[in-house]
Structure 1
Amino acid sequence: MSGTSGSYNAVTWLLDRNVDEGRGAKLAFTDTVSELTYGDLQRQTRCVANMLRRLGVRREERVAMIMLDTTDFPSVFLGAIRAGIVPVPLNTLLTTDQYAYVLADSRARVLFVSEALYPVVKDIVGRMPDLEHVVVSGNDAFGHKKLSDELAGENESFATVPTHAEEPAFWLYSSGSTGMPKGVRHLHSNLQATAETYGEQVLGIKESDVCLSAAKLFFAYGLGNALTFPMSVGASTVLNAERPTPARMYELLNRYNPTIFYGAPTLFASMLNDAATKNERAGTGLRVCTSAGEALPESVGNAWKARFGVDILDGVGSTELLHIFLSNAPGDIKYGCSGRPVPGYKVRLVNEAGEEVPDGEVGELLVEAPSAAEGYWNQRSKTRQTFQGHWTYTGDKYTRDADGRYTFCGRADDMFKVSGIWVSPFEVESALITHPAVLQAAVVPEADSEGLLKPKAFVVLRPDCNTDGLYESLKEHVKQKIGPWKYPRWIDVVDSLPMTATGKIQRFKLRDGAS
């Protein structure tokens, strides 16, 4: 990578290079309401940089973003980076208390917020000690600064700040399954690292591609999908400010005919099983789909390929490593596993003693990554636990087969032993959802009358399924699929499962309720 020993600003490589190479008039982003060419985006980011300087924000200080996926998002995000200022995109589904925590923790000087999201923070913005300005994206600024007005007369010339490749460029707050989120500090070079590994060598993204991501830009996964990868080759992106419902995603797939669709297991399953959209198509231009957030069940991957004729590249990534580091690849797909290491990444599986485990045994996944974060903000102990030398401890349990493919078993704190043998909640869940009555499933440990742990399942049923003898049918189904000791001893039928905003099952909530 260029620039590792001198000045390097991520915006120069991501954006200015496209204009210099003649793509200034090409569409970079559309949000169905407005459009930005690469030339437009270059001018907008220069205006944002000048605005931030005018507001008194200095290099390395933070600005928070609670913004929907509109064309304003890349303008603000990249404009701050151009100025050497650190943007902090935040999950748009947090609570008021969570926003108060993150704004205080990051010491953000400016908050950019979408008009529709302002009511969630209106009662706290006046009592954040470091927050000096609120800038609203939309028509009503609620008495604060209006982004369009602030940029209207701004100077379109700006000398990009000569940052360093290993200087923090932006933060992402991890969505941790428990507790308050952690500020993950990413470097200028990390964006290019993900583009040159997964984007180039797995996805094979090219200038002619049109991208659509269900995952939002504030997620590490969504940021790569909809911003880093397309901009790395001068491709175009369709942004979606609304909830990624099956109906909405089919609408965008058919309206814009994207070539790459980035989803998540829960969404793919919903799009396949939603009664209201059972006859919808997924556009005619799709060449590949990707999945992350949680392991993709084999049944979902096969059903999607059968219906639409397009493979889903299932992989695993993390906020700490910015994007996917284990993945299936075109021509090398095995549904039910996370694939092989992405070129440029090294992985290990270790036991509790830190010793590498052989093929077939469960171990914690460690990754050596060119895109690893610098660490967590103000959490030195947690940083030391996660980032150890060249290796990042993921907290994920995996097995590796003789062909070098890795299969997800669960989070380290989700795994449990039955009769001395590790049981993967995901394996039991994957078996349950292949039963014709089951739409979704989650499995947690529950102590029996003798205090021994056994699997307990929570299932969401398909509409109008036959429930006669259901419980015994489900238990026998799991026994036949994956082994007699892994079947759920207890099964609760529920209307829905607790999920994070990324579509991951929050098993800790079920464990708390089950115990």
Structure 2
Amino acid sequence: MTTTTENAASYFVDRHLAEGRGGKTAFIEGDRTLSYGELAARSDLIADLYARHGITPEDRAAMIALDVLEFPIIFWGSLKAGIVPVPLNTLLSADNYRFILRDSRAKALFVSAPLLETVRPILGDLPHLRAVFVLGGDSQGFLDFSAELATCRPQPMQPASADEVAFWLYSSGSTGAPKGVRHVHGSLKGTSDTYAAQVLGIRQDDLVFSAAKLFFAYGLGNGMTFPMSVGATTALLSGRPTPQSVFDLMAEVRPTIYCGVPTLYAAMLAHAKEGPAPGCDRLRMCVSAGEALPREVGEKWRALTGVDILDGVGSTEMLHIFLSNRPGDVVYGTSGVAVPGYELRLVDESGKEVEGDAVGELLVNGPTAADGYWNKRDKSRSTFEGVWTRTGDKYQRQADGRYVYCGRTDDMFKVSGIWVAPFEVEQALISHPSVLEAAVVPALDENGLEKPKAFVVLKDGAARDGLEDALKDCVKEAIGKWKYPRWIELVDELPKTATGKIQRYKLRSQA
């Protein structure tokens, strides 16, 4: 169903039918495929699905969905229906999901069957939730998404302005409390018109594989909007992206563009060792974001595959990469230069632009900035300053105009491309009955990538046997599988100020 509306689904989905690409494969997932025509037809059914359960335009629909064919059907179908999809990290704990689902007031929840047991205990504690749809496998008494969709009828697309909120993504704040980041319809095309078109040079004959998942802003662009902007094809990996699973899929589909994060690139290098790396023979471009790419990782990857990694910087608030290296102009150890369409500034604590190679906080101005945070007015005002967005990253600008990452403005750091708040990890550690106090700082692993290190003070008489593994498991279960401290150092006391605040900078010097 075509329309002249500025609803993003019109451009990314239905346009391909009018331009003769209805039969082109849009997504590959295992032995299943989804063409652009099939995506258009099935996404047209989503509005009827919502209507049957009393879910109306501007309501929110949470997605705890693996990277499967149903993901684009639900996402684009929601946009067509005027419903706001909210893709969520599939690795969160039940408590995290309870907070987000209550905060967003989601009326619908789409959950992949393997993840149902995680959220089942909280589903009775969500007063706004009206319908739970299970994707694949046993629906266990909830609504079977495929069966429900099979009985629906196509509905016309809801008109939308380019400035209308289309979807939310959740980003952790400085205290670890998730923040709903509201993005408008026009921003999706904004990222494909800038980074995808002018840096990647993405083409219709590309086959894209993003190990970074679709629920990330980074993965959403890599695996959906970028290839869909030109009618290309995406290969999806529903499972966890280990070096083996990633190489296996690459060997099967032989992508032309691969997108990962530095931690995974390093792990893949260790896995491949001397090579050759399977499935890399057709690669023409590799992309990295989420955390700074170590120079050594980039150089070793190029030696292994013959292809450079384009290291870039983006954020949930800006939707995708706005600062990047470029094809034929890669300098490892730097984040490159501004993506066409974006402006950058470095400012000091007073907001004044820094001079020369002085370190400053990075601010960005571009067409894809979020509309603000949900129900966090003060945080919105401090992050979105007119046309400028504060990134919270510290950078230096070299004489040649390239930017070099120096660290975070606050104590947060990224692990595998995902923000980790020390306070959140510390609270999880303290929940263990043997722990009195804890402080968490970033430390570098053997590949030069940041991982959490914990300094722990035990309660008197606490047993130490097997404690390290127990504490790691405690964190994994409480807040997420990737946030656990890789190293735990037991100490007698933590350095503190006179008012009792932990001096993390002293611990960072020891890490």
Larger deviation: 354-363 or 277-286? 277-286
- How far did 1:34 drift? 1.6
Q: Distance in 2 between matches of 1:16 and 1:390?
A: 31
Instruction: Look up the equivalent residue of 2:408 and give its one-letter code.
Output: R
Q: Aligned equivalents of 2:390 and 2:112: distance in 1?
A: 35
Pairing of 1:184-195 with structure 2 (within 5 A): 184-195=181-192
CA distance in 1, matches of 2:14, 2:244: 36
Q: Which residue, out of 275, 292, 306, partners 1:295?
A: 292
**Partner residue, 1:281:** 278
Q: Give the drift of 1:280.
A: 3.7
Partner deviation per Cα, 1:111-142 (whole Å, 9 max, x = no partner): 00000001011011112000011000012111
Matched-pair contact (CA < 8 Å) for 2:94–2:119: yes
Contact 2:276 2:305 in 1 (8 A): no
Taking the aligned partners of 1:329 and 1:49, their CA distance within structure 2 comes to 40
Output the amino acid matched with 1:344.
G
- Residues in 2 aligned to 1:106 and 1:296: alpha-carbon distance in whole angstroms: 33
CA distance in 1, matches of 2:306, 2:378: 47
What's the TM-score once normalised by structure 1's chain length?
0.81
Report the CA distance shift for 1:258/1:411 in structure 2 as closer, same or farther (over 3 A): same
Q: Does the aligned pair in 2 maintain the 1:294–1:504 contact within 8 Å?
A: no
- Please list the CA deviations of residues 159-191 of structure 1 after superposition, one character each: whole Å capped at 9, or x if unmatched: 110111100000000144642210000000000
Structural mapping, 1:335-374, within 5 Å: 335-374=332-371
Q: Are residues 177 and 127 of structure 1, via their aligned partners in 2, closer, same or farther at CA, if it must alter by over 3 Å? A: same
1:245 corresponding residue in structure 2 = 242
Pairing partner for 1:159 from 156, 167, 170: 156
Cα distance in 1, alignment partners of residues 50 and 285 from structure 2: 39
1:249 maps to a residue whose letter is V
Shift of 1:512: 9.6
Corresponding residue number in structure 1 for 2:147? 149
Equivalent-residue separation in structure 2 for 1:33 and 1:92 (angstroms): 22
Aligned residue type for 2:104: S
Residues 185 and 509 (structure 1), Cα distance of their counterparts in 2 relative to 1, 3 Å cut: farther
Structure 1: distance between partners of 2:194 and 2:306: 26
CA distance in 2, matches of 1:364, 1:304: 30
* 1:18-97 equivalence runs, <5 A: 18-97=16-95
Task: Report if aligned partners of 2:133, 2:144 keep a CA contact under 8 Å in 1.
Answer: yes
Residues 337 and 501 of structure 1, relative CA distance in 2, 3 Å threshold? farther
> Gaps spanning 5+ residues in structure 1: where?
416-424, 427-442, 444-455, 463-473, 475-489
* Distance in 2 (alpha carbons) for counterparts of 1:33 and 1:12: 28
Distance change >3 Å, CA 458–CA 389, structure 1 → 2: closer
Give 1:152 deviation, angstroms: 1.0
Matches within 5 A, 1:30-429: 30-156=28-154, 158-176=155-173, 178-274=175-271, 280-414=277-411
Instruction: Return the letter of the residue paired with 1:395.
Output: G
Deviation (angstroms), 1:509: 9.9
**TM-score if structure 2 supplies the norm length?**
0.82
Q: SS at 1:99's partner residue?
A: helix
1:460, 1:87 → 2: CA distance?
36
Structure 1: distance between partners of 2:197 and 2:481 = 24
For the Cα contact (< 8 Å) 1:215–1:221, is it kept in 2? yes
Give the unaligned 5+ runs of structure 2. Answer: 415-421, 423-440, 449-454, 456-467, 490-503
Once the two structures are superposed, the pairs formed by residues 471-486 of structure 1 within 5 Å of their partners are none
Counterparts in 2 of 1:34 and 1:196: CA distance versus 1, 3 Å: same
Tell me the number of residue pairs that the alignment of Structure 1 and Structure 2 aligns: 445
The answer to whether the 8 Å contact 1:293/1:504 transfers is no
Q: Give the whole-Å Cα distance in 2 for the aligned partners of 1:325 and 1:275.
A: 31
| Counterpart secondary structure, 2:121 | coil
Q: What is the CA–CA distance in structure 1 between the aligned matches of 2:103 and 2:487, rounded to whole Å?
A: 25
Identity over the aligned pairs, expressed in percent?
Answer: 52
For 1:195 and 1:457, how far apart are their aligned partners in 2? 33
2:177 maps to amino acid: M
The alpha carbon displacement at 1:372 in A equals 0.3
1:33 Cα deviation (Å)? 3.4
Contact 1:266 1:503 in 2 (8 A): no
